[in-house]
Structure 1
Amino acid sequence: MYNIKNSKELASYINYTNLNNIISEEEVKEFLEKAKKSTFNSVIVSPTYVSLAKETLKDTDIKVGSVVGFPLGFEDSETKVAEVKSLLDKGVDEIDVVVNLSYLKDKKYDLIGKKIEEIKKIMGDKTLKLTIEVKALDDAEKSAVVQVAEKAGADFIKNSTGFVAPCHIYEIVNDINIIQKYAPKIKIEIYGGIDSYKIANQVLTAGADKIASNYGYEIVKRYKELRENTQVTPKPITLTK
């Protein structure tokens, strides 16, 4: 079991996510107000709401992340670079870039690597996460792309956009094992289907560095109720020789 000491530490491993494409501004504000009640590593929102998130969370330590090439990743490289620059202008701290699966299927590893290098150079010390959509890949393709990502300077590999069926915990463990074997220096973020503390703990125990979840607030709230708000009134005891 992963040794989580308290709800504050648990929240620090979570990127609280809302990439709903039909969400209203009022609903985003409600989401961000929930985020402020905890100590999440980051919130992940669509490019539309990055500026709102930065303003709402300016007095917290919560970072703001967003997405490029989302959710299919088939935009050309120039478009992705332009999206990255736009997000940086808005003050984003972390960017999830969806890999072009057509390039990957065609084994255009040099092209993928060069574009990752270009984006990372633009981003500087901001966090670059490469989303690879593991459900569309076989293990050989996963091992190839994570090696390219690590060599090119990506900070994280992320397993999913969340727009496909979530992986079973055994699939997640398999993917984490592949990443750790072939790209041992890169960090790992797991997204999709993490809706309870039990699953969050399993994923962290398996080796993930961060988890992304639409249910981050509920996970931390439930953990806090179970582990930190338990009230016990001990009964008096009599010690006898």
Structure 2
Amino acid sequence: MVGYNIKNSKELASCINYTNLNNMITEDEMREFLEKAKELNFNSVVISPTYVPLAKEILGETNINIGSVVGFPLGFEDSDSKKAEAITLIENGADEIEVVLNLSHLKDEKYSLIENEIKQIRDAIGDRILKVIVETKALEDYEKANAAKAAEKAGADYVKTATGFMTPNHIFENVNDINIFQKHAPKIKIETFGGINDYKTANQVLTGGADKIGSDLGYEIVKRYKDLRENTQVTPKPITLTKKD
């Protein structure tokens, strides 16, 4: 397998959706988080609906997308409620919507209900990015495959592996999930979340086929990479190319 070739810290940040879904975060703490996102220019931030207007205020003139969540973290709300949540988020300035799949419908193999719900949200948010969180840690492989197929068929842009509320996946589990999604829903993009705490793991997941990484440690991952690869300058000693007498 050929390694994913990250050229610099800017490219690494462009692969990461910097996440903070802490339900007890203060406004000052969220401002600090958003300023960190602005500093490193991540692909997007993923935040609670509460702070979408604030993110629009702080990040509005950047190219960082603002993402937020619908039916989070359990996904068992009715479809009309999820649709209404998504519409409100878009009105408040969100660019990306992450909707949690109804796992009860998945366990009962009610794929038409899953597809209909995703399609309703797809139609409601227009050309904004739509992601479907499938919580792979709770699923058998065949269920992951069917979830991804339903999301792709209904027009979602991404399938995402986790909410972050379960034990994080191991790197091998993440790669297994990516392989399943690629095989059974080859047109949908893939975002992994959970268990990605450093540049090495991020690189492994990208090498495995992920399109984006969701991480609440995005700032630390990029800063460590930047310090290692770009901020460590060594001045070489002068040398001559001929042998001294």
Question: With structure 2 as the length reference, what TM-score do the two structures score?
Answer: 0.97
The residue correspondences of 1:91-170 to structure 2 (distance < 5 A) are 91-170=93-172
The residue correspondences of 1:1-241 to structure 2 (distance < 5 A) are 1-240=3-242
Question: Could you tell me how far 1:239 is from its partner in structure 2?
Answer: 2.5
Question: Could you tell me how far 1:240 is from its partner in structure 2?
Answer: 2.8
Aligned length: 241
Question: Could you tell me how far 1:76 is from its partner in structure 2?
Answer: 1.1
Question: Could you tell me how far 1:235 is from its partner in structure 2?
Answer: 1.4
In 1, the alpha carbon distance for the partners of 2:233 and 2:175 equals: 36
CA deviations on 1:25-71 (whole Å, 9 max, x unpaired) are 11000100111101211000000000000111012110100000000
In 1, the alpha carbon distance for the partners of 2:213 and 2:34 equals: 18
Question: Could you tell me how far 1:85 is from its partner in structure 2?
Answer: 1.1
- Return 5+ residue gaps in structure 1 as ranges: none
Question: Could you tell me how far 1:212 is from its partner in structure 2?
Answer: 0.5
- Return 5+ residue gaps in structure 2 as ranges: none
In 1, the alpha carbon distance for the partners of 2:236 and 2:113 equals: 65
- Partner letter of residue 120 of structure 2? E
4+ long deviations beyond 3 Å: none
Question: With structure 1 as the length reference, what TM-score do the two structures score?
Answer: 0.98
Question: Percent of counterpart pairs with the same letter?
Answer: 68
Across the aligned residues of Structure 1 and Structure 2, the Cα RMSD in angstroms comes to 0.9
1:111 is paired with a residue whose SS is helix
In 2, the alpha carbon distance for the partners of 1:239 and 1:175 equals: 53
